[in-house]
Amino acid sequence: MTPRKARIAAAFAAASASYDRHAEVQERAARLLLDRISLPSPCPRVLEIGCGTGGLTRRLHPRIGGDWVITDLAPAMVESVRPRVPGALFRVMDGERPDPDLDGFDLIVGNLAAQWFEDPPGAIRRLQGRLAPNGRLLMTSLGPDSFREWRDLFARFGLIPGTLTFPPLPGAERVRVTHPYPDAKSFLRSLKGLGATVPADHHRPLGAGSLRRVLAAAARPFAVTYEILIVDIGR
């Protein structure tokens, strides 16, 4: 695991108890996946990447059954889902670098995990290679238009926020949703509650005074765009 991935795992582990209270957008993205999943096999082999606290898992597993391998980068997230899916195999794993023995899946799913990959297009190609013939890979990620209002707010002060800028994914469907927060501070609090706090590389944190000025200038309520990318490919 790279040092950056270790920081990401630690941040999400620390947020495992608060994650569900802040996961409204994650739930919306999970519904986008569920609307697209229809498998001919009554008992597929399924690999889940980035299970989090199981928002997608607990909806999809009862619906399609099958033989599941459920993974996440953060051990605390894996343990939070384990009691909900008896009989599944659980692993702490970087979904960008799947374990060598994991292969031949009818379905690979992941909800809002791919944006944390260091090389999302390359990782998706590698995961596609782990599909069985006629298998399907269905994942969501965040796209480059996400957090546009947050970046625009900082730009008014000549500043750049530490939140990540997400890359496009070739061929992905794009769905934009807008989520309202009472104020900009609530948006920050939500990111912390989710564990999405690891900043972009080389970001220098703002001083407390500068951050207060930025937050004070934000509209109330503070609406934030999430561009959800849907990757749906087969083998």
CA separation, residue 188 to residues 64, 68, 184, 232 (Å): 36, 34, 7, 31
Report the pLDDT averaged over residues 95-120: 96
pLDDT of 38 > 80? The answer is: no
Each residue of 114-167: pLDDT tens digit? 999 999 999 999 999 999 999 999 999 999 999 999 999 999 999 999 998 898
Domains by residue range for the chain, with CATH:
3-142+230-234 (3.40.50.150), 148-227 (no CATH)
Give me the chain's average pLDDT, please.
Answer: 94
Confidence label for 90 from pLDDT (cuts 50, 70 and 90): very high
Sheet holding 89-92, edge to edge: 89-92, 67-72, 45-49, 105-110, 131-142, 222-234, 173-181
Q: How many CA atoms lie within 13 A of 50 on its CB side?
A: 24
pLDDT of 209 > 90? The answer is: no
Cα distance between residue 142 and residue 65, in whole Å? 28
Instruction: Give the number of other Cβ atoms within 10 Å of residue 209's Cβ.
Output: 8
What length is written for the chain? 235
Confidence label for 41 from pLDDT (cuts 50, 70 and 90): low
Bridge partners of 227?
176
pLDDT of 50 > 80? The answer is: yes
According to the model, what pLDDT value does residue 202 have?
80
Do the beta carbons of residue 230 and residue 32 sit within 8 Å?
A: yes
